[in-house]
């Protein structure tokens, strides 16, 4: 269930709506609102706080109040003079109703609206009546437009899925291409040139097994004879279930290497990028001086073609974008610190360009990297950072009225359980219930190996982007 909170705050009153929307609404294309209730505060600042009244009720009462006020205002507008009597008596004594009081006042009888104090009615000025009508109309219109909102969300999911599929398909295609390459490449060059990269193992959302066809191609008779013994023991591409992220390249093997598996040397089947202790450097790394071991595996295990799955440069947020998220870390706003947006694969020599500043750094020096959103999924300091991000990418949907970035400090204990959530700022506190944090009794991320607790900053942007970074 997703919390729905909406506030309408004209100058002299505020209407707060709280409700639950079933996640099934996305598929039904119609919001299934449950447990909706409201609080209406007549908080005109011109009056003392003790005279201000708050009424509450459920959706039925709110709709009734909307109709009452709408009808009254419309009748009032059709009267030729100010002092006309436009009272429409309610059909039930429990129903709220309005009638004019004097020249410019209107008395709202509360009926069965719940209220904390005793008055049965409220005297409203014209301006107060206008504000009340404004808030109620806004609520009515937004409730009516909710189906469009949810349709929009369901449409949004399709391009994401398609994008993931396209990216993986490109990776496989590149892998097939590279498997046809001439074996003249020297073993020393092959370390950097024939490289296998993938979405980090901790990214569970798009396992490679999902894009593997259920049956291997049957017109490649050489495949069974050349496959390594470990693969020969397996059924061809059939079981995606035993695939774990580190093993996923093995499952891709039959479909991509069956054409010329002998041309790919074992040493060429992985990307080994050796750490380079140059934390200040911002230039893209040359292939000869890699700094990160991505998906390390024994060289003898597989003959893997280079498969590189990359985000398009347009998806990589620029540093300027990150500076707009109000992150306080000075590193984030440093103009010197840039991140290569052009992670690219040259299909002819399969050079992978990797930034130097990757691994061997202290945690506080890595604050930058998780903030790089999609790109950072390759370079998160700890896998838990990506796990947190992946969790909220699935769970969090930005409210339509959200204008500002929300930031939370998540304290996670050694076992990977969420211990504390600290909202940073008023807005973060206000939307706390809508973020859907996991219960503290459920394992949130994989256990930490080094520290007792770890603090991760969660940044939720109004456009749906989610950033996670280590927080000290």
Partner 1 sequence: MLSQLKPPTFKDLSVKKTPDNKQLDNIKTHLDLLLLALESLAEITSDTIITAAKHLKINSTITNRVELWRLRQSNPIRKSSGGRKKLDIEEAKSLVLIICYLANKHQELIRRGVTLLEESLSQNQSPHQITLLGDYIDKFTNTYQDRMEEDETNYNKLEQLGFKLLIDLLFYSDENGHRRLWLALLDYSKINL
* 79: CB partners within 8 A, 6+ apart: 86
d(CA 64, CA 8): 18
77 lies in the site for partner 1, by CB under 8 A: yes
Which CB sits closer to partner 1, 77 or 89?
77
E strand map for 143-267: none
Which CB sits closer to partner 1, 1 or 123?
123
d(CA 338, CA 66): 53
127 lies in the site for partner 1, by CB under 8 A: yes
Residue span binding partner 1 (CB under 8 A) among the ranges 96-104, 234-242, 248-256, 415-423:
96-104
103 lies in the site for partner 1, by CB under 8 A: yes
What is the nearest approach in angstroms of partner 1 to the Cβ of residue 277? Answer: 52
312 lies in the site for partner 1, by CB under 8 A: no
What is the nearest approach in angstroms of partner 1 to the Cβ of residue 171? Answer: 42
What is the nearest approach in angstroms of partner 1 to the Cβ of residue 125? Answer: 5
How many whole angstroms from its chain centre is CA 249?
27
> Strand 114-115 and strand 53-58: pairing?
antiparallel
Residue span binding partner 1 (CB under 8 A) among the ranges 51-59, 69-77, 345-353, 436-444:
69-77
d(CA 314, CA 316): 5
157 lies in the site for partner 1, by CB under 8 A: no
149 lies in the site for partner 1, by CB under 8 A: no
Contact 440, 418 (CB under 8 A): yes
Which CB sits closer to partner 1, 175 or 399?
399
- Binds partner 1 by CB under 8 A, chosen from 104, 215, 244, 415: 104
How far is CA 454 from each of CA 20, 274, 371, 377, 419, rounded to the nearest angstrom? 32, 26, 17, 18, 10
44 lies in the site for partner 1, by CB under 8 A: no
Indicate left, alpha or beta for 205 from its phi (over 0: left) and psi (-120 to 50: alpha): alpha
273 lies in the site for partner 1, by CB under 8 A: no
144 lies in the site for partner 1, by CB under 8 A: no
- Binds partner 1 by CB under 8 A, chosen from 3, 6, 10, 275: 10
**Residue showing tokens 């202290």:** 362
Residue span binding partner 1 (CB under 8 A) among the ranges 122-130, 148-156, 168-176, 311-319:
122-130
DSSP H or E run through 7: strand 2-8
DSSP H or E run through 19: strand 14-21
Contact 457, 469 (CB under 8 A): yes
3-state DSSP assignment of residue 94: coil
- Interface size with partner 1, residues (CB under 8 A): 24
Contact residues for partner 1, defined by CB under 8 A: 10-11, 73-74, 76-82, 102-105, 125-127, 130, 133-134, 137-138, 141
């Amino acid at each position: 269930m997703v919390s729905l909170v909406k506030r309408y705050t004209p100058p002299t009153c505020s209407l707060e709506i709280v409700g639950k929307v079933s996640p099934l609404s996305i598929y039904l294309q119609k919001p299934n609102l449950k447990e909706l209730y409201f609080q209406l505060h007549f908080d005109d600042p011109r009056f003392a706080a003790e005279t201000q009244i708050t009424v509450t009720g459920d959706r039925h009462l709110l709709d009734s109040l909307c109709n009452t006020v709408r009808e009254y205002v419309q009748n009032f507008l059709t009267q030729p003079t100010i002092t006309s009597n436009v009272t429409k008596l309610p059909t039930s004594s429990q129903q709220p109703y309005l009638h004019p009081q004097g020249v410019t006042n209107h008395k709202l009888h509360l009926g069965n609206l719940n209220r904390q104090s005793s008055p049965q009615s409220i005297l409203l000025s014209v301006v107060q009546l206008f504000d009340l009508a404004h808030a109620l109309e806004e609520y009515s219109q937004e409730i009516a437009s909710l189906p469009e909102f949810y349709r929009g969300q369901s449409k949004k999911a399709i391009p994401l899925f398609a994008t993931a599929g396209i990216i993986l398909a490109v990776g496989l295609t590149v892998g097939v291409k590279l498997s046809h390459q001439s074996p003249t490449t020297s073993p020393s060059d092959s370390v950097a040139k024939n490289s296998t990269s993938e979405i980090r193992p901790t990214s569970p959302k798009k396992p490679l097994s999902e894009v593997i066809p259920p049956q291997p191609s049957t017109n490649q008779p050489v495949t069974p004879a050349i496959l390594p013994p470990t693969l020969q023991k397996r059924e061809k591409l059939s079981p995606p279930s035993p695939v774990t992220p580190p093993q996923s390249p093995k499952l891709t093997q039959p479909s991509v290497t069956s054409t010329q598996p002998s041309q790919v040397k074992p040493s060429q089947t992985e990307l080994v990028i050796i750490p380079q202790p140059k934390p200040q450097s911002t230039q893209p790394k040359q292939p000869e001086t890699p700094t990160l071991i991505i998906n390390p595996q024994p060289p003898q295990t597989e003959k893997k073609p280079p498969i590189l799955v990359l985000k398009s440069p347009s998806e990589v947020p620029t540093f300027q974008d990150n500076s707009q998220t109000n992150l306080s870390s000075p590193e984030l706003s440093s103009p010197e610190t840039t991140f290569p947006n052009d992670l690219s694969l040259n299909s002819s020599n399969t050079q992978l360009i990797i930034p130097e500043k990757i691994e061997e750094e202290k945690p506080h020096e890595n604050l930058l990297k998780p903030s790089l959103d999609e790109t950072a999924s390759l370079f998160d300091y700890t896998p838990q950072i990506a796990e947190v991000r992946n969790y909220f990418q699935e769970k969090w949907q930005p409210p339509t009225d959200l204008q500002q970035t929300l930031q939370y400090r998540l304290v996670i204990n050694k076992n990977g359980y969420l211990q504390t959530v600290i909202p940073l700022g008023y807005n973060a506190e206000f939307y706390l219930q809508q973020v859907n944090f996991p219960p503290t009794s459920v394992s949130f991320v994989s256990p930490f190996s080094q520290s007792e607790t770890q603090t991760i900053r969660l940044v939720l942007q109004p456009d749906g982007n989610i950033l996670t970074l280590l927080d000290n």
